[in-house]
Structure 1
């Protein structure tokens, strides 16, 4: 039997609805974080913009409270990058994704530690981080003193990649600052990671939040491999995209009409919406590179217009909020972008900050 074909725009609207980007809804912050299976959080404050774009009446204090009470954490998980997740998800996801971190470390730093006893380095580093938080610089100093003939920087990364860690608060707390200090998951949360978590359950949650999607999409999102055998044993709906790629979906996954209106939405740096598919054309039809600028976050990002990535934004504090379109905007689109920019300033700036919408390339 031929699988039903879904157009790019149908996939766009399905993903936007599941990402809560077609309409803001009220609800607990922790519940949405879990529904989205975490938020990209390399820029510590980026999740605040991500949640503001999705939650009705979002208050940054709600997320800050989750973090300071250790009910939510920033940890190296999916794709070996830092994600904001609930404590329960952190304990479940690390055992499933630690192989991704191991692969990332060996690809980036393995040669620098050829001949070194990496197991001993990681064991000692884990012991240190189980007692108190360490910055990577401090780890580098301590490990370099203990093993002066091995690359200190690579040893510090070995510990941060291969030991399950979180970046402790106050880093990532709204209105506060702090160093990128690491502590083990177990010591910070007071519980060990789950002994035997279900990869099947994780894939189902991915499809519920990002589907319909292909096996390659799921592997891109997670960094994991061999997920074909997982989807094949699950009871899933099957579709095809316009190029014939096989897509999978949870049985109750919503598929809104392709003509469903999609409001302008401002996203933070590296929002998972733009990163979680091997074929990103459903939200990024031109294939434009998604920028990851330096900084703490909540100062720049991307803009969805009619559901697609079509502009970038930057907040010049005390001066302006600037939007740079990639393609010409209609008068209506410019008005909608300006209105949503003003709304965003209620979170990150002040109401009297001017909004500047630049000219797109001809």
Structure 2
């Protein structure tokens, strides 16, 4: 009976096949024309901030980009696997499989909104979030449709790894901080490669509402959102209950957001010599650099205002600089800094 039904249906649709073929070809041609007429606003280059680092990778000084944004280079290989697990597990479990849009997630979010009369979970994929970051839209049906189309465009033009890298470098984290690497140094004082379970969960959820969840301003809200991610990771079985319970104990520590500023004059020289480099590696020892900066500042604080000093420590064996103190206080005109 099933075979008979399919045969009858095939005979009925046969006259429509030419129309379906031409219709499909026309639709594809239209999409191609729209893609050529309205290409996705992809960055022409990796316009990150310039970051000068010590020999172990610790930032010495960061230079904001032309718009004053702090955005450090990042990729899937440079961040903690825990962060990637939290990000994909909480935000987009099907990232590596969907074509930019996950219809099931959008239907689920819509059903929850109808039943609960509030937003319970979002239906946006990471690709859709990248589309919104690159091409902001209004919160209207047309704006949402534009975001969906841009997401499909991104999937056509870029690989999944490239889309993920754009998110890692450009996700909003409050103020002028963008990307997980800049956020990790700003809020936690460490590289994104060295995150704990709790820290990974925190940085995964912050872009959802960066102004409301900023840990330096709203630590309680940030911790509640972080714990929600931890619960999700345990429910999915990605992290064990023991790992999640230990992570919940870890407090959200409030930090004053201060860009790194060590060996400031050397960093300025290196950046002038390599103006197009996003990351500049120096040979300085960060521990020695910090110690000498503190000692020079403490010693000269008792001397007349116009007294200054410079200090250079070189490894005799390799002739590499290990510490570079260009002045007592960088930017202090009284001490010629």
Q: Is TM > 0.5 for Structure 1 vs Structure 2? A: no
TM-score, scaled relative to structure 2: 0.30
**Which is higher, the Rg of structure 1 or of structure 2?**
2
TM-score, scaled relative to structure 1: 0.28
Which of the two has greater helix per residue? Answer: 2
